[in-house]
């Protein structure tokens, strides 16, 4: 009893005498959550076996943005528009203290050059000596509605003449021509990789999402990592929020808070690692430690260094299950044109663009970063071939073909 009392007194003394132990979370205008995702497993483990194994496409994610009740002022609406957002009508959440910023004038109305009868003193003529009127509130613009890839994307893979956006390209070689004879592989050619895209007018694809421009989504695997013509990382990541297909809002929930909902159905190859593979590698891979080079599979993944793996069978399956992929999301402030970032800086070149690097880039962070960790069951055709050792031989199949059959769901 005496020993317990002494320990309690010491702990109480440390807690009262050391205010530095107090942890204060930073406050943000927006609370961001990943509300719905299959097989959610919020584990701290970095072991891929502890996280869900998902296919390369087709699984849903729902992001919920909630306006913090302390600083949330309400919707900003130019006077010709309805009182509350309707489909395909852009409104901003408005944050600020005091309301409408220090000047008391709603910036969103003046930026659109629309006189607002509710604020007659806020006129274009009365603006300061610069244009446009300064945004002194925190705005989170959003446009309820749907985004989908255009009809054009159905024809892009078959050389139809249509104005489709270009996908990221990677130098790869065709295994059909690499038969081991000298010069059979030929020079690498550009191969498109990643989700099918529509036209430039679709507002669908890489970059910020015009319906929710402040949302940023990055992944540390796949074509979201920017590489150059030599498949080396450039120190940048693409914002994947442009693939969000729908944006909606709830005016007031049971807690009298306002929410924005953004839904993403992950398209094919959006987060699939980009792998250049030589399954017949005669390089310097010494797997058994005898000092003699062994044959194996060489690969470069997402612009990283070359790796060696023993054998060729089931290479892509083992690669997927051994690799933990992290998807990150956060909300940033938009620029004076109402746009969010299309590219994020990866300052240390590790293929990760997180919220801290976004702040270092000069972006205003409006929410905490949320993460979702998972591993993939890769489709076998996702490996691109590359003749690393120059022997004009890419070997056989990287992995045996699966059945590919569609079965009735279990009952």
pLDDT in tens, 139-189: 899 999 998 876 665 555 555 556 678 889 888 888 778 888 888 888 888
The pTM of the full predicted model, rounded to 2 decimals, is 0.82
Domain annotation covers residue 39:
yes
pLDDT at residue 214 greater than cutoff 70: yes
Give me the domain span that covers residue 146.
Answer: 25-43+57-96+137-265+328-371
Backbone Cα Rg of the chain: 26
Note whether residue 278 is domain-resident. Answer: no
In a domain, 321, yes or no: no
313 contact partners, CB below 8 Å, separation of at least 6 = 399, 400
Asked if the structure places residue 308 within a domain, the reply is: no
* Res 270: pLDDT: 93
Q: Kindly report the three-state secondary structure assignment for every residue of 52-107.
A: CEEECCCCEEEEEEEECCCCEEEECCCCCCCCCCCCCCCEEEEECCCCCCCCCCCH
For the stretch 389-407, pLDDT in tens is 888 888 755 443 333 333 3
Percent of the chain with pLDDT over 90: 28
Answer whether residue 114 is part of any domain: no
Beta strands per DSSP E along 143-186: 145-146, 169-172
Q: Quick one: pLDDT at residue 171? A: 87
Report yes or no on 194 lying in a domain: yes
Model confidence over 52-82: pLDDT tens digits? 778 778 889 999 999 877 778 788 765 455 6
Report yes or no: 328 and 226 within 8 Å, Cβ to Cβ: no
- Per-residue model confidence (pLDDT) at position 234: 94
At 376 the pLDDT is 82
Report the alpha-carbon distance of residue 135 to residue 324 in Å, rounded. 41
Residue 279 domain flag: no
| Nearest Cα to Cα of residue 108 among 88, 80, 87, 86 | 80
Contact 380, 402 (CB under 8 A): yes
Q: Which residues pair with 278 in a beta bridge?
A: 298
In the predicted structure, residue 378 carries a pLDDT above the cut 70: no
pLDDT at 245: 94
Query: Which range has highest mean pLDDT (128-132, 173-177, 267-271, 390-394)?
Result: 267-271
Residues in the chain, overall count: 411
Count of domains for the chain: 1
> Which of 168-172, 231-235, 286-290 has the least mean pLDDT?
286-290
- Averaged pLDDT score across all residues of the chain: 77
**What local confidence, expressed as pLDDT, does residue 159 receive?**
55
Closest CA to 279 of 171, 193, 173: 173
> Tell me, what's the pLDDT at 268?
87
Distance in angstroms (rounded) separating the CA atoms of residues 112 and 226: 35
Per-residue pLDDT averaged across 356-382, rounded?
A: 85
Is 271 within a domain?
Answer: no
Alpha carbons 58 and 239: distance in angstroms, whole number: 19
């Amino acid at each position: 009893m005496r020993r317990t009392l002494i320990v309690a007194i010491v702990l109480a003394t440390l807690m009262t005498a050391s205010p530095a132990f107090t942890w204060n979370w930073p406050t943000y205008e927006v609370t961001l959550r990943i509300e719905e995702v299959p097989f959610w497993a919020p584990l701290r483990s970095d072991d891929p076996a502890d996280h869900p194994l998902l296919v390369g496409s087709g699984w849903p994610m729902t992001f919920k943005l909630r306006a913090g009740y302390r600083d949330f002022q309400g919707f900003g609406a130019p006077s010709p528009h309805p009182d509350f957002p309707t489909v395909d009508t852009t409104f901003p959440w408005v944050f600020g203290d005091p309301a409408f910023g220090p000047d008391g004038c709603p910036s969103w109305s003046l930026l659109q050059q629309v006189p607002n009868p509710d604020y007659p003193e806020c006129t274009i003529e009365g603006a300061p000596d610069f244009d446009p009127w300064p945004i002194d509130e925190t705005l989170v613009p959003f446009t309820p509605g749907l985004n989908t890839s255009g009809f054009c994307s159905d024809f892009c893979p078959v050389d139809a003449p249509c104005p489709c956006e270009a996908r990221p390209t990677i130098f790869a070689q065709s295994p059909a021509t690499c038969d081991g004879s000298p010069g059979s592989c030929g020079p690498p050619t550009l191969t498109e990789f990643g989700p099918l895209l529509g036209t430039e007018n679709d507002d669908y694809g890489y970059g910020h999402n015009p319906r929710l421009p402040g949302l940023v989504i990055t992944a540390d695997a796949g074509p979201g990592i920017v590489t150059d013509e030599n498949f080396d990382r450039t120190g940048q990541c693409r914002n994947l929020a442009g693939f969000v297909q729908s944006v909606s809002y709830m005016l007031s929930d049971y807690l009298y808070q306002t929410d924005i909902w953004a839904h993403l159905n992950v398209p094919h190859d959006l987060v699939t690692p980009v792998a250049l593979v030589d399954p017949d590698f005669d390089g310097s891979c010494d797997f058994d430690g005898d000092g003699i080079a062994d044959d194996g599979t060489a690969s470069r993944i997402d612009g990283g260094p070359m790796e060696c793996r023993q054998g060729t069978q089931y290479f892509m399956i083992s690669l997927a299950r051994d690799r933990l992929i992290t998807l990150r999301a956060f909300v940033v402030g938009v620029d004076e044109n109402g746009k969010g970032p299309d590219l994020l800086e990866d300052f240390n070149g590790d293929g990760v663009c997180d919220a801290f690097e976004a702040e270092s880039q000069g972006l205003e962070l409006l929410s905490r970063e949320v993460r979702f960790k998972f591993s993939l069951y890769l489709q076998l055709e996702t490996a691109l071939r590359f003749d690393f050792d120059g022997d004009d031989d890419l070997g056989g199949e990287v992995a045996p073909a699966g059945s590919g059959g569609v079965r009735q769901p279990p009952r």
